[in-house]
Amino acid sequence: MMTGSHRHGPAGTAAPDGALPVSLGGETLLLHPGRVVIWPAACTLFAADVHLGKEAVFRERGIAVPEGATDTDLGRLAALATRHGCDRIIVLGDLFHALPSSSQRLVAAVDAWLDGLAGIRVQVVAGNHDRAGVQRRFARLDWLPEATVLGPFVLCHAPPEPEDHAGFVLAGHLHPCWRLRHGGDRLRMPVYWASGQRLVLPAFGSFTGGWNVAPGRGDRLWVVGPDAVVEVPVTGRRQR
């Protein structure tokens, strides 16, 4: 059950921690500036595209990138779930990027994370990066098939065509972003993107890229800031 500090007002009224309640699929969902979606009625947190281990894979290929993204992202996921009283974390694909050759360190980090979750269940919709070898190595996780149905929602990794599913789709894969313009200034920000009966979540991982979305008329975009989520108008024009 959600505690009093996590109560939220009507859809469109920001919660105390900057999360924005919206009505989607007949349910109230919280779009969080931490790039997760909270479903309060089911005590469930949704995230997408964490890409654990990506920095290790890059370093093995001789690309100088900082270490620490995996530990940071695992800590963020646990903290957000605990703060919102969630007893379930569902990752909408690409929890992992790949298995680095030094994968034992990654396995140990995930095992320690699972041990410290204090009863929070972790389920993962297998994404295109979560290949069979990854699933076997991380067998402690509850792996779900694409298009798993949960209440009014259909849980996918890649957003399907609207006519493919009867329920409201929650998906990832695209790492959606939007470029804000003001005069000569440009700022590229992650967004939540609703199109028809689909909501595409921004990438959760701190070491991930982004793709500029091309929303159509009738779509909705919510820009993710450091401590707030704000809806922006959609013109139906492709960004460059």
Predicted local confidence at residue 115, as pLDDT:
96
Which of 36-50, 90-104, 167-181, 214-228 has maximum average pLDDT?
Answer: 36-50
56, pLDDT greater than 70: no
Distances from the Cα of 52 to the Cαs of 101, 106, 212, in angstroms?
Answer: 14, 8, 23
236, pLDDT greater than 90: no
β-strand pairing of 27-31 with 20-24 = antiparallel
CB 165 within 8 A of CB 154: yes
Output the six-digit token pair for 154.
Answer: 């259909």
Of residues 219, 214, 202, the one with CA closest to residue 240: 214
Which of 12-21, 56-65, 117-126 has maximum average pLDDT?
Answer: 117-126
Predicted local confidence at residue 187, as pLDDT:
81
pTM of the model as a whole: 0.88
159-176 tens-digit pLDDT: 987 666 779 999 999 999
Q: How many residues does the chain have?
A: 240
Predicted local confidence at residue 161, as pLDDT:
79
Where in the chain are the domains?
Answer: 15-174+192-204
The vertex-155 CA angle with 93 and 43, nearest 5°, equals 100
28, pLDDT greater than 70: yes
More confident residue, 59 or 212: 212
Which overall architecture, per CATH, does domain 15-174+192-204 show? 4-Layer Sandwich (3.60)
63, pLDDT greater than 80: no
CA separation for the pair 170, 155 (Å, rounded): 5
Q: Which residue type does 127 have? A: G
pLDDT band at 186 (very low <50, low <70, confident <90, very high): confident
Contacts of 182 (CB under 8 A, 6+ apart): none
Phi-psi sector, 39: left (phi>0), alpha (psi -120 to 50), beta: beta
